[in-house]
A and B are shown apart, each in its own frame.
Chain A
Amino acid sequence: MEGQDKATLVIGVIGADVHAVGNKILNYTFTKAGFNVINLGVMASQTEFVEAAVEADADAILVSSLYGHGEIDVKGLREKCDEAGLNNILLYVGGNIVVGKQDFNEVEKRFLAMGINRAYPPGTDPMLAIKHLEEDLKA
């Protein structure tokens, strides 16, 4: 790792989603918090997330989805990571990850069942994800 103690994160907005603002905020916040950030920007495919994490030997992949198709876009990502040798890499998902007003506890369950480590509802403070990263990476 660059500077040895810096953890490497791959971030981006998955699928055919072009919402760019939140992605820029996350890039800024995570970098400021001392992470080594690889930002794929908008319209990133699962393959791009996986390939970037392989080359960078990343510690975590943080997927944003703002247009309601998060569930279908993220499905299979854990399996792809396993296939690429990224065993036990941390996977976080956040944004407007499902359509409509659904009970987030149910939504979270569905994402955890897909092998995602943490799922966040709309309006989550990035600082919470940073806190979780610090905990999870120590574990």
Chain B
Amino acid sequence: MNIYLLTDFGSTYTKMMAVDVDKGEIIAFAKAFTTIETDVTEGYNNALAGIKAQLGDFVPAASLACSSAAGGLKIVSSGLVPDLTAKASRLAAASAGGKVVKTYSYELTEFEIEEIATIQPDIVLLSGGIDGGNKKVLLQNAETLTKTKGNFFVIVAGNRSAASEARKMLEAGGKRVVVCENVMPAFGKLNIDPTKAAIRDLFIENIVSAKGLDKVATMMDMEIIPTPLAVFEACELLSKGTACERGLGELMAYDLGGATSDVYSMADGLSKSGAFISGIQEPFAKRTVEGDIGMRYSLHALYDLICEEGGLGDFDPAEVGLWLDTCKGSPDVLPQGEYEKFAQIDAALAAWAIRLSATRHAGQVERIFTPQGEVFSQTGKDLTRVEYIIGSGGAVINAPDPLTILQEAAYSPRDLNALKPHKPKILLDKENALAAMGLLARRQPDIALKIMKTSFLEI
């Protein structure tokens, strides 16, 4: 029997899955508290003991891991114009599996510098100016960053004519710098892969050890990658398939967590109704991460957004407030047992989380009347023909009625202009296997694909 151990070091739990690669089945699952403060191998060994209690003793064929422990891969990104290079830098950081805490545009202000010092990012991504274009913003921000407190790396991915000068300034200021190709070398043209690679390399070579994961990293058969990157790769595999087996085609996935809501789309995003595209053309594989939409740590921020839209009409605000405070006090709480009466409220909040993050991820269409007749103008991706939506994350998979929650990811006349899927099939990642399958995909893509296709059930 060939067993692969797939471990996800989360902020609270270390989750471990054992897969029999000969049979192509998930055979065991165990979790233990993450012990990042002391020694992360403790939590790992506890989870492993849980697996061995089910399977007996064995030597795994391979052990692979991803991590979002110790705050995840915190990135602050910046650019010049919000809809151009700033947006490109955010897309690059999100596709690399980063938790993009903030995205700034134009020259960094004193207030923003203080904010960066408080955020304590692992990486600051500096961009701005297309190649041959504006140099001033990159140089100005590089200079400002040298005065910013913090032990972060700086990736310079802006106007190439200003990049080496920016590097010199930052290095003279004691910052560790990586220069890579511009995230937007020509107007409207995205080039995020070099930045994605630079972030990945920094994570593997430096950030893993800074987060206290180096000891456990030596026990693995592959470098530890950020958990959202593993999910991203699982989605890509499930969509595109392998040489031997077809994928599902265009799809979206939602990973609703305690701190963030992550949305993935694997779709070309071109207009299906002949609209004119304005702004940058977004990539086939896109990830967005919403730091103000989450089910525990960001629940208050989410509720503020809901109130702006009119609030949770059917529920007593006092009860909602009580649940919000309970979640704030103990982020591990589940709406079960003594808290069962809050299950409906929790589900309603989750539905809003999906709706809001879906609307932000999807493109928008606007109807314009012209002397030549009616025309449509589209920004972002048209996802109306996407066939599958995959729901993942505790708040979704443990809900009594996940379908109602996930239907918020589909098109609705309430969000008339959002280009969300019209008639998607909705699949549930009941085993919460997305991240583990992304890990397995790096070694055994056919098996990872087979497991996903059989274990994600239509609801």
Please list the residues of chain A having a beta carbon within 8 angstroms of any beta carbon in chain B. Answer: 1-3, 8, 16-18, 36, 38, 42-45, 48, 51-52, 54-58, 67-69
B132 in contact with A18 (CB, 8 Å): no
Q: Scoring B residues 161 to 204 as 1 if CB is less than 8 Å from chain A, else 0, what string do you get?
A: 00000000000000000000000101100000000000000000
Of the listed residues B128, B134, B279, the one surrounded by the most CB atoms of chain A closer than 10 A to its CB is B134
Separation of A18 and B278 alpha carbons in the complex (Å): 13
Separation of A68 and B131 alpha carbons in the complex (Å): 35
Separation of A28 and B281 alpha carbons in the complex (Å): 22
Task: Tell me if B135 counts as interface (CB < 8 A to partner A).
Answer: yes
B134 in contact with A43 (CB, 8 Å): no
B377 in contact with A55 (CB, 8 Å): no
B278 in contact with A45 (CB, 8 Å): yes
- Say how far A59's CB is from chain B's closest CB, in angstroms: 11
Task: Tell me if B310 counts as interface (CB < 8 A to partner A).
Answer: no
Separation of A38 and B372 alpha carbons in the complex (Å): 26
Separation of A65 and B74 alpha carbons in the complex (Å): 46
Separation of A69 and B371 alpha carbons in the complex (Å): 10
Known: A16-B375, A43-B278. A8 touches B133 (CB 8 A): yes
Residues in B whose Cβ lies below 8 Å from that of A17: 370
Residues in A whose Cβ lies below 8 Å from that of B186: 38
A36 in contact with B132 (CB, 8 Å): yes
Find B84's partner among A8, A18, A55 (CB 8 Å cutoff). Answer: A55
Which residues, 71 to 91 on B, are CB-close (under 8 Å) to A? 80-81, 83-85
> 7 closest Cβ contacts across the A-B interface?
A2-B132, A16-B370, A56-B133, A57-B134, A51-B81, A38-B187, A57-B133
Q: Which residue of B lies closest to A44 (CB)?
A: B278
B375 in contact with A55 (CB, 8 Å): no
Task: Tell me if B92 counts as interface (CB < 8 A to partner A).
Answer: no
B134 in contact with A8 (CB, 8 Å): no
Interface size on B, residues (CB 8 A): 26
Separation of A68 and B184 alpha carbons in the complex (Å): 34
Task: Tell me if B36 counts as interface (CB < 8 A to partner A).
Answer: no
Find B370's partner among A3, A48, A52, A67 (CB 8 Å cutoff). Answer: A67
B371 in contact with A55 (CB, 8 Å): no
A56 in contact with B370 (CB, 8 Å): no
B84 in contact with A51 (CB, 8 Å): yes
A55 in contact with B85 (CB, 8 Å): yes
Separation of A8 and B368 alpha carbons in the complex (Å): 30
A16 in contact with B368 (CB, 8 Å): yes
Known: A48-B278, A51-B81. A56 touches B375 (CB 8 A): no
B368 in contact with A54 (CB, 8 Å): no
- Say how far A130's CB is from chain B's closest CB, in angstroms: 20
Separation of A57 and B128 alpha carbons in the complex (Å): 11
B276 in contact with A43 (CB, 8 Å): yes
Task: List 11 A-B residue pairs with CB atoms under 8 Å apart, sorted by A's residue number.
Answer: A1-B132, A3-B132, A16-B368, A16-B375, A38-B186, A51-B81, A51-B83, A52-B84, A56-B134, A57-B134, A69-B371
- Knowing that A2-B132, A57-B132 touch, tell me 7 more A-B residue pairs with CB under 8 angstroms: A16-B375, A18-B370, A18-B372, A44-B278, A51-B81, A55-B80, A56-B187
Task: Tell me if B380 counts as interface (CB < 8 A to partner A).
Answer: no
Find B80's partner among A36, A42, A48, A54 (CB 8 Å cutoff). Answer: A54
Find B187's partner among A3, A52, A68, A69 (CB 8 Å cutoff). Answer: A52
Separation of A52 and B80 alpha carbons in the complex (Å): 11
Known: A16-B368, A38-B187, A52-B187. A57 touches B135 (CB 8 A): yes
Residues in A whose Cβ lies below 8 Å from that of B134: 54-57
Task: Tell me if B121 counts as interface (CB < 8 A to partner A).
Answer: no
Known: A43-B377, A51-B81. A8 touches B276 (CB 8 A): no
- Say how far B301's CB is from chain A's closest CB, in angstroms: 29
Q: Which residue of A lies closest to B160 (CB)?
A: A2
Q: Scoring B residues 367 to 383 as 1 if CB is less than 8 Å from chain A, else 0, what string do you get?
A: 01111100101000000
Q: Which residue of A lies closest to B135 (CB)?
A: A57
Residues in A whose Cβ lies below 8 Å from that of B85: 55
Task: Tell me if B129 counts as interface (CB < 8 A to partner A).
Answer: yes
Find A57's partner among B83, B84, B129, B368 (CB 8 Å cutoff). Answer: B129
Separation of A38 and B133 alpha carbons in the complex (Å): 11
Q: Which residue of A lies closest to B276 (CB)?
A: A43
A18 in contact with B375 (CB, 8 Å): yes
- Say how far A11's CB is from chain B's closest CB, in angstroms: 11
- Say how far B101's CB is from chain A's closest CB, in angstroms: 24
